[in-house]
Chains A and B, each alone.
Chain A
Amino acid sequence: MRIEDVWLRYSRRGPWVLREVDLALTRGEIAVLVGRNGAGKSTLLRALVGTLTPVRGSIMGRPAPVAWVPERFPADQPFTVRDYLSFMGQVRGLPAAQADAVALGWAERFHLTPFLHARLSALSKGTAQKVGLTQALLVPPGLLVLDEPTEGLDAAILAELPQVVGEVAAAGGLVLVSDHSGKLVDLPQAHRWVVAGGRVTAERPGADRARCVIEVAVSSSRAADTVALLRAAGHDILGVREESVAERGAS
């Protein structure tokens, strides 16, 4: 899949959310998008799944079928979990019986079985997120896009998620994950796409093995914000300390 010189914004006179995005991924590869809130990760993912049309540039070679786990699962629907998953399987083109069987298999893996007859609107955030994950996997995806999939998930599913992503990639699927929390940045062999300042920078897998330490001085009142910002951009915080008198004199 190639993303060539893509520019994105939401209205004709609105500010550009992303500019000059040039990226490429081949089958079986995984990319994790990191960046702070509002950096444009979800916007890029919406363009990649085809629900947002780039104002400029193009996205080519999108492998079918595309599966998308939106950031917020739309739980305000008059279906039970089982009915919803069965319908989504049928929308994918599966016969009703097969859609139901596949849905039950994934529901068991994601610990959804006790909730199969619960109404979507009655689910907790984490359980609704599991339903969102399940609908995306009813058919082996060619492109799997996960927008903040870790939000609200319990530890068991968080541990399962990298394995599921690995299985999709092993089957030749292309996986894109946005992860504001930083829980998935260590996916094995994953490219890292850093979204910041309206641009996306790609890092090759393993590129961060050779690392360097940068010492930065900020005012004490901005320390917490700076740490959060750097973590969101995918950097490791090795420590935070008070500036010594000697350092203050030197600067």
Chain B
Amino acid sequence: MTGLVRMRLRGYFRTGRIVAPTLACLVVLGTFYGGGAAQAGEAYGVSALLMFPIIAWQTKLLLDAEPDVQRRLARVTVGSTTREWAAGLVAAGIAALPLLLLALALPWPLGGVQGPVRPEDPPLLSGVVAGVWAHVILVAPAVVLGALASRAVTRTFGVGATVLVGGAVLALVLGLRGSPMWWAAPPLLSIIRLTVRGFVASGVTTISLHVAVWTIVAGAVYARVRRTRA
């Protein structure tokens, strides 16, 4: 499977498709941090939310970079349906790391993060740790959303774009305070609410569990669909 992961990553980078999500990341976060400095947890929480659709989009770009016949050939060559789609998800997860590092580093040269101002503000380190956690925890659900929007599942560009944009918007709408269906989407807004307070262990556990369950369920849907859609 590692051979297929390497091949897909190399194919993605060589097509130059990585430029688009990288530019999107720079523009969106540059605009966000250009508005002034904020507490580390708050700034990183919003950054993680903004990165969610960008990583999902990048996943779709990466998976769609491979022609359909080559994807089927990869399935035959690697000898297992599960290994074929899992290799795509792993490649997308690895491809997300440079974007995450960029998102985590960007606020410092742009002056987007500041230390505690009011007594009730969490310490800088606590906010940074919460921010790193927020970025890392959202990679898996973003990758699964992008995979569900990929051509292997959706067949056409229109349906793919609808799944990608609709999924990201729904994740925001369902995460609004008081939403009766908060459990149906990754907890993007809950993550921001938590990171504002810094790294709080109890909240981190609950949200991590929510993200894990959502990712497993959505990942199972992807696996089920990919069983018949090679």
Query: Quick one: which of A49, A65, A73, A78 contacts B14, CB cutoff 8 A?
Result: A78
Cβ of A125 within 8 Å of any chain B Cβ, yes or no, is no
Contact with A along B54-77 (1 / 0, CB 8 A): 000000000000111110111111
Q: Which of B29-88 contact A (CB under 8 A)?
A: 66-70, 72-79, 81
Q: List 18 A-B contacts (CB under 8 A).
A: A49-B76, A50-B81, A50-B230, A52-B230, A53-B227, A53-B228, A64-B79, A70-B69, A74-B67, A78-B11, A79-B11, A79-B14, A83-B10, A90-B7, A91-B3, A91-B7, A93-B3, A135-B73
Cβ of A199 within 8 Å of any chain B Cβ, yes or no, is no
* Residues in B neighbouring A68, C-beta threshold 8 A: 72-73, 76-77
Contact A91 B230 (CB under 8 A): no
Contact B79 A70 (CB under 8 A): no
Q: Which of B161-215 contact A (CB under 8 A)?
A: none
> Closest A-chain residue to B75, C-beta based?
A51
> Closest B-chain residue to A55, C-beta based?
B228
Contact B74 A91 (CB under 8 A): yes
Q: Which of A90-105 contact B (CB under 8 A)?
A: 90-93
- Cα A89 to Cα B78 in complex, Å, equals 10
- Cα A20 to Cα B116 in complex, Å, equals 73
Once A52-B230, A87-B7, A91-B3 are accepted as A-B contacts, the answer to whether A77 and B79 lie under 8 Å apart by CB is no
Apart from A83-B10, A91-B74, 10 more pairs, CB < 8 Å: A49-B76, A50-B76, A68-B77, A74-B68, A74-B73, A77-B11, A87-B7, A88-B7, A90-B2, A92-B3
* Residues in A neighbouring B66, C-beta threshold 8 A: 77
Once A50-B76, A66-B79 are accepted as A-B contacts, the answer to whether A72 and B7 lie under 8 Å apart by CB is no
Once A50-B76, A91-B77 are accepted as A-B contacts, the answer to whether A77 and B70 lie under 8 Å apart by CB is yes
- Cα A67 to Cα B77 in complex, Å, equals 7
Once A65-B79, A66-B79 are accepted as A-B contacts, the answer to whether A77 and B67 lie under 8 Å apart by CB is yes
Contact A90 B6 (CB under 8 A): yes
> Closest A-chain residue to B17, C-beta based?
A78
Once A64-B79, A77-B67 are accepted as A-B contacts, the answer to whether A70 and B14 lie under 8 Å apart by CB is no
Return B87 CB to nearest CB of chain A, in Å. Answer: 9
> Closest B-chain residue to A49, C-beta based?
B76
Contact B69 A87 (CB under 8 A): no
Cβ of A76 within 8 Å of any chain B Cβ, yes or no, is yes
Query: Quick one: which of A65, A76, A87, A88 contacts B10, CB cutoff 8 A?
Result: A87
Chain A interface main SS type:
loop
> Closest A-chain residue to B77, C-beta based?
A91
> Closest B-chain residue to A46, C-beta based?
B72
Contact A51 B72 (CB under 8 A): yes
Q: Which residues of A contact B (CB under 8 A)?
A: 46, 49-53, 64-68, 70, 72-74, 76-79, 83, 87-93, 135
Q: Which of B7-21 contact A (CB under 8 A)?
A: 7, 10-11, 14-15
Total count of chain B residues near the partner, CB < 8 A: 26
* Residues in A neighbouring B10, C-beta threshold 8 A: 79, 83, 87
Contact A72 B79 (CB under 8 A): no
Return A168 CB to nearest CB of chain B, in Å. Answer: 16
Return A112 CB to nearest CB of chain B, in Å. Answer: 18
Cβ of B138 within 8 Å of any chain A Cβ, yes or no, is no
Contact A92 B77 (CB under 8 A): yes
Cβ of B4 within 8 Å of any chain A Cβ, yes or no, is yes
- The 4 tightest CB contacts between A and B, nearest first, are A90-B3, A78-B14, A74-B67, A51-B230
Once A51-B76, A52-B230, A78-B11 are accepted as A-B contacts, the answer to whether A72 and B3 lie under 8 Å apart by CB is no
> Closest B-chain residue to A53, C-beta based?
B228
> Closest B-chain residue to A76, C-beta based?
B67
Most chain B beta-carbon neighbours within 10 Å: one of A51, A73, A76: A51
* Residues in B neighbouring A89, C-beta threshold 8 A: 3
Contact A66 B76 (CB under 8 A): yes
Return B159 CB to nearest CB of chain A, in Å. Answer: 15
- Cα A73 to Cα B67 in complex, Å, equals 10
* Residues in A neighbouring B81, C-beta threshold 8 A: 50
> Closest B-chain residue to A83, C-beta based?
B10
- Cα A92 to Cα B14 in complex, Å, equals 22
Contact A88 B67 (CB under 8 A): no
Return B154 CB to nearest CB of chain A, in Å. Answer: 15
> Closest B-chain residue to A91, C-beta based?
B3
- Cα A73 to Cα B73 in complex, Å, equals 10
